[in-house]
A = this chain, B = another copy of it.
Amino acid sequence: MVPRLKTALTGPLQDLERRILERMPDIERWFRAKWHEHEVPFYASVDLRNAGFKLAPVDTNLFPGGFNNLNPAFLPLCVQAVQTAVERICPDARGVMLVPENHTRNVHYLSNVATLENVLKQAGMNVRIGSLIPDLAGPTRVEASNGASLLLEPIVRHGRRVGVEGFDPCMVLMNNDLSGGPPAILQGIDQPVAPPLAAGWYNRLKSHHFEVYHTVAQEFAELVGIDPWLVDPYFGVCGEINFQERAGEECLASNVDWLLGRIRAKYAEYGIDEKPFVIVKADAGTYGMGIMTVHDTAEVQGLNRKQRNKMAVVKEGLEVTSVIIQEGVPTFEAIDDAIAEPVVYMIDRFVVGGFYRVHAERGRDENLNAPGAQFVPLAFESPCLPDLAGPTGCAPNRFYAYGVIARVAQLAAAIEIGELEARSGTPAAAPSPVVA
């Protein structure tokens, strides 16, 4: 379910938002049934773009790193949801080992870890932070930007159990996206790991996620009675890219061309006066590196050295060998003239809050997950009674639609994780180039 949250927009509900709001009981029932079939991820964050005519996820993160950007008023929701999540994974739990990213110099990220630690503690857990930093000599205290102090401890393993010195946790909660692969010390252990190691970025492909999302979105669209395209961005994949060696440029150009054509046709069908564009990004990896906006096929032909360097590498120096070419969804939300996109946070099957990622120097057709982005926590909307049949002046609950689409993406991620686990830890094969 989705708490009533304030959005950047104040205008009347768009047709899509209204349809989703009207079908609320059916949608919630659909989700309940789905969560009986698929194990819900421990947590997730979904980046959305709302173009007014279209509302779609553009990225689904299974190791959310922005809990510190949530409004503190949301923490009780987080705590309540964490209790449900822990109850499911480890009903006898008292101890959770939280495994964060290794970059201890990012003090904002450390604030995220501190917030998460606090949520777990308030949910009644004993929490220790187990670090994967290879040369961590012993317990090490680091300071976060929010004033919190974190104690990072080396992970120790005894047989098939892991923990930190003097602490045998019931479960391991990963907040490390495993771009570098599954750590040996966490493999083959008895304790449950959430999200599972198979969900790490070393193993995930955005194209796989959106392939699953495509299927789930079809079913959702049928339920709500809409054209699936309204919630599902077209995409294609080029699996054998080497930017430095200019390999795969033809595949890239033909996909861009094909996608721009399909988007143009849809825009014509709906009378949308926008210039179609696509986003090219690394198929594996995160952190908004290696991303470009393309309006014309010529832009991906004959990339110069600087452009190629930018696209060639993502986090932890991983080389980009596969890219996803995704329909661009322009955002029509702005806060104080700066372009904004909502990021929705979920724990277990609950929307627990979110924030706007705002970038003053980026356009409405650009990736906002880039240096210079700022975060505006979402606030609760003052409720007014009665809900849907409210008097004039009762703000429409636009955010409900955001929470729904974010959960459709979360459901896709759940199915995706199931498939990755079934492949038992081997990296996911790239799907066929053109899927949508």
Binding site for B on A (CB under 8 A): 1, 3-4, 24-29, 32-33, 36, 72-73, 75-77, 79-81, 83-84, 87, 91-95, 114-115, 117-118, 121-126, 146-149, 350, 380, 382-383, 385-388
Residue pair A387, B122 in contact (C-beta under 8 Å): yes
Chain B residues with Cβ below 8 Å from A380 are 72-73, 76
Q: Give CA–CA (A310, B33) in the complex, Å.
A: 53
Chain B residues with Cβ below 8 Å from A123 are 1, 28
Show 12 residue pairs from A and B whose CB-CB distance is below 8 angstroms, ordered by the A residue: A3-B80, A4-B75, A4-B122, A24-B124, A32-B91, A32-B92, A33-B92, A72-B383, A75-B383, A76-B380, A77-B80, A149-B386
Partner of A125, one of B25, B36, B80: B25
Q: Which 5 A-B pairs have the closest CB atoms?
A: A28-B124, A3-B76, A148-B385, A25-B94, A25-B126
Q: Give CA–CA (A386, B120) in the complex, Å.
A: 12
Give the shortest distance, in Å, between A79 (CB) and chain B (any CB).
5
Residue pair B80, A350 in contact (C-beta under 8 Å): yes
Partner of A84, one of B84, B92, B94, B386: B84
Chain B residues with Cβ below 8 Å from A387 are 118, 121-122
Residue pair B27, A124 in contact (C-beta under 8 Å): yes
Give the shortest distance, in Å, between A352 (CB) and chain B (any CB).
8
Residue pair A350, B386 in contact (C-beta under 8 Å): no
Partner of A29, one of B94, B115, B147: B94
Chain B residues with Cβ below 8 Å from A148 are 385-386
Q: Give CA–CA (A114, B380) in the complex, Å.
A: 20
Chain B residues with Cβ below 8 Å from A125 are 25, 28
Q: Give CA–CA (A94, B24) in the complex, Å.
A: 10
Residue pair B385, A79 in contact (C-beta under 8 Å): no
Give the shortest distance, in Å, between A173 (CB) and chain B (any CB).
15
Give the shortest distance, in Å, between A169 (CB) and chain B (any CB).
12
Smallest CB gap from A151: residue in B: B386
Chain B residues with Cβ below 8 Å from A95 are 25
Q: Give CA–CA (A391, B123) in the complex, Å.
A: 21
Q: Give CA–CA (A344, B209) in the complex, Å.
A: 43
Q: Give CA–CA (A26, B124) in the complex, Å.
A: 8
Known contacts A3-B76, A33-B91, A77-B77; 7 additional CB pairs below 8 A are A1-B79, A4-B75, A24-B124, A28-B83, A36-B91, A118-B383, A118-B386
Partner of A73, one of B36, B73, B386: B73
Q: Give CA–CA (A84, B83) in the complex, Å.
A: 11
